[in-house]
Structure 1
Amino acid sequence: MYRDGDYAVWFRTMHGEGTGIVHLADGKISGGDCMFAYGGSYDVDGDNFTATLTTRRHSAGPTTVFGCDEVEALLTGQFKGTTAICAGAARQAPDIRFEATLFLQQELPAPDPARMSPPVNAAKLPTIPTGRLRATSAAGRRIPCMPPSVRPRQKLAPPKNSRAGSRTVRSRSSAMSTASWPITSSMPAMTP
């Protein structure tokens, strides 16, 4: 069973929740988060423990989850493998229940050199061809290098079976192609 070590802690009350880092060593608690430093002591009896946790502000920001900056919380909890769960209340806010879960931070083993990939030799990598590439289809026809939507000077045919008036629309795409086709409408033309 693990007891001493570095723990990531998640805690909550009815006022909010937060996270921090706690170091447990030889019955002493130390740690903190971005606004508070933690301290205190703990006693272990088998899988159960009791702790006294204190907080002290070191940076500006919101209050603790208890609603005040400096608290002394009395906690009881239990170790379960590499986690610990505890609950309690602060002397400064006895009606507010505090719950916390601690997760032991384990160091990852060093990678096995035999399983590591070999270093990359850039000279052995394939090179990217330079110049303009021409692709061919399975039938041996050349495939254009640019999509039809950007080919320059592309002309669009007017729609078939249109009941077009004499008005036309001219537009230019980003490739400066021109298109012209009659405007069709299902509504009759308005006359003044």
Structure 2
Amino acid sequence: MPATLPNGLYKIAFETASGAEYGVAYLQDGKLRGGDSGMAYVGSYQMDGDLLTADLSVTQHRHVPGAVSALGFNNVQLQLAGLVDESKVVRLTGTSPMSKSIRFGARLSLLAD
């Protein structure tokens, strides 16, 4: 039986060659909303068995001169995909239709339902 992903608040860790960033995301019935101290995450996700796919817009909400996200862009569209494991953790890979240079890993971990 495929692992399911419950609605809830998740920790998200983005890992790139230039560093890591951490935030939170609330997943509920196909909607994803979240952010960190400088970026807002807004998008949607779908489940197909234990495969999660998501389309996400990452937008800078707090301008800090010279600061650029670990993704290399402050306003970017992302596509993510990964498998849910039995402990409700999702290891994702991500790309962007905006730039072929954007490739990263991410991890979603359930904090609260």
Q: TM-score range by the shorter chain?
A: 0.7 to 0.9
Aligned sequence identity (%): 34
The normalised TM-score by structure 2 is 0.87
The CA deviation at 1:15 is: 1.9
Q: Aligned pair 1:57/2:63, yes or no?
A: no
| Larger-Rg structure | 1
Match of 1:85 in 2: 91
| Secondary structure in 2 matching 1:95 | strand
The CA deviation at 1:35 is: 0.2
| Secondary structure in 2 matching 1:34 | coil
Match of 1:13 in 2: 16
What do the CA deviations read for 1:60-116 (whole angstroms, capped 9, x no partner)?
232222211110011111111221111021222222311100110137xxxxxxxxx
Does 1 or 2 have the higher relative contact order (CA < 8 Å, sep 6+)? 2
What do the CA deviations read for 1:139-170 (whole angstroms, capped 9, x no partner)?
xxxxxxxxxxxxxxxxxxxxxxxxxxxxxxxx
Structure 2 unaligned spans of 5+: none
Structure 1 unaligned spans of 5+: 108-192
C-alpha contact 1:7 1:22 (8 A) present in aligned 2? yes
Q: Following superposition, which runs of at least 4 residues in structure 1 exceed 2 angstroms of deviation?
A: none
Decide which structure has greater strand share: 2
| Secondary structure in 1 matching 2:75 | coil
- Give the Cα–Cα distance (whole angstroms) in 1 for the partners of residues 7 and 31 of structure 2: 9
The letter of the residue matching 2:112 is: Q
The letter of the residue matching 1:35 is: G
- Give the Cα–Cα distance (whole angstroms) in 1 for the partners of residues 17 and 98 of structure 2: 15
Q: Aligned pair 1:76/2:91, yes or no?
A: no
- Give the Cα–Cα distance (whole angstroms) in 2 for the partners of residues 2 and 66 of structure 1: 25
Number of residue equivalences = 107
The normalised TM-score by structure 1 is 0.53
The letter of the residue matching 1:8 is: K
Q: 2:50 aligns with which of 47, 54, 68?
A: 47
What root-mean-square deviation, in Å, do the aligned CA atoms of Structure 1 and Structure 2 show? 1.4
Q: Aligned pair 1:2/2:5, yes or no?
A: yes
- Give the Cα–Cα distance (whole angstroms) in 2 for the partners of residues 65 and 53 of structure 1: 16
C-alpha contact 1:4 1:23 (8 A) present in aligned 2? yes
